[in-house]
Amino acid sequence: MIEVEHLTKDYGTVVAVRDVSFSVGKGEVVGFLGPNGAGKSTTMRILVGFLGASSGRVRIAGHDIADESIEARRAIGYMPESAPLYLEMRVREYLGFRAAVKKVPRGERKAAVDRAMSLAVVTEMADTLIGHLSKGYRQRVGLADALVANPPLLILDEPTAGLDPNQIREVRKLIRSLGENHTILLSTHILSEVETTCDRAIVIDRGRLVAEGSIGELRARQKAEGAALLVVGDEKRAKELAASIAGVRRVVAKRADDASAVRLVIGYEKDTEDGARILESVVRALVLEGLGVREATPTRATLEDVFAELTRAEETAALDPGEEEDA
């Protein structure tokens, strides 16, 4: 649905997007992830034909966005960041205008507008001036606008930015349900959003693609960092035993809620591949010594940590010009 090859965008000396290539298949819901200022919006604006690329190619539904711009744009429902709207229009008027601009045949416009309004849950505000709507409703009108011509591809730039937690949950739910019939590319700087709504994520930082893969694959980058154990018995002995296992870097004992037990927090050595085996050995050693183990929970890096690591690795690579490899 989207094919991006070696996309670069520079503004004079400032390079906003640097040699980015990725593709999004039909029916996928893909999160476009990166910190603020990473080049997400610039990339999306190039994808929808609002900005021209300095070099590289973008194909949308088989059409080149530069050479067959109109055909490519007809396949896209785009919601720009913060959904700018004409405040002097009523919701129904605005969506009717958008349907006309997107070449929905005259006879089908009313039905298309009604359908988009009910999908985006703004029907009750149909005759309200957009200027009188709250931020959450405006965002949903923007979403209805993206949906009105029933395009196969939705490109949503920060669809949940500026919303309150309830609204965020509703919009995510909506995106998930839209994902059944549409290909969706949505940008965000919030990882949990990708976790809850997307099948796959593309991570960019400073205009470069730093990682791409399914949520599972990204999670696999989350190495086990350590474990938390709830142990019944002698604290000192337990600490010694845990520390004696190969691969364990440090052991900290903490007071547990239950006075009879002690909480051991274990940290593995850096870049340990086989955290599960180490934890197994620790538990076995403790049990063989007659200590009770009530809980053993591996602590994983969150996606946030993976994200931070990916973007940090990029930083060090940038400092060292000899190493241009992506993390």
Partner 1 sequence: MSGALPVYRREMLSLWVTPLAWVLLVVFLFIQGLSFYSIVVHVSGMSAASIDTGPVQAYFGQSIFLLVSLLLVCPALTMRVFAEERRSGTIEALLTAPVTPAGVVTGKYLATLTTYFAMWLPTLLYILILRNTGQIDWRVVGSSYLGVFGVGAGYLAVGTLMSAMTKSQLTAFVLTVLVQFGLFILGIGEYVFDAGLLRDISSHVSVLSQMDEMSKGVVDLRRLVFDGSLVGLPLFVTVRVVDSWRWG
Interface residues with partner 1 (CB under 8 A) are: 45, 48-52, 70-71, 73-74, 76, 78, 80, 82, 84-89, 93, 97-98, 100-103, 142, 145
In the complex, least distance from residue 212 CB atom to partner 1, rounded to whole angstroms? 25
Smaller CB separation from partner 1, 39 or 142: 142
Helix (H) or strand (E) holding 19: strand 14-24
Smaller CB separation from partner 1, 70 or 288: 70
Smaller CB separation from partner 1, 11 or 173: 11
Torsion of CA 156, 158, 160, 161, to 10 degrees: -150
Q: Which of 287, 283, 291, 284 is nearest to 266 (CA)?
A: 283
In the complex, least distance from residue 73 CB atom to partner 1, rounded to whole angstroms? 4
In the complex, least distance from residue 177 CB atom to partner 1, rounded to whole angstroms? 23
Q: Does residue 85 sit in helix, strand or coil? A: coil
In the complex, least distance from residue 190 CB atom to partner 1, rounded to whole angstroms? 22
Q: What's the DSSP call for residue 269? A: P
In the complex, least distance from residue 133 CB atom to partner 1, rounded to whole angstroms? 15
CA distances from 18 to 91, 113, 181, 203, 210 (A): 39, 39, 32, 13, 11
Smaller CB separation from partner 1, 30 or 99: 99
Smaller CB separation from partner 1, 146 or 306: 146
In the complex, least distance from residue 309 CB atom to partner 1, rounded to whole angstroms? 33
Q: Which amino acid is at 23?
A: S
In the complex, least distance from residue 249 CB atom to partner 1, rounded to whole angstroms? 51
- Sheet order of strands, 183-188 included: 76-79, 153-157, 183-188, 29-33, 200-205, 208-214
Who's near 216: CB < 8 A, 6+ residues apart?
Answer: none
Smaller CB separation from partner 1, 120 or 201: 120
Q: Using CB atoms within 10 A of its CB, is residue 115 exposed (0-12), middle (13-18) or buried (19+)?
A: middle
Q: How many residues does the chain have?
A: 327
Smaller CB separation from partner 1, 76 or 266: 76
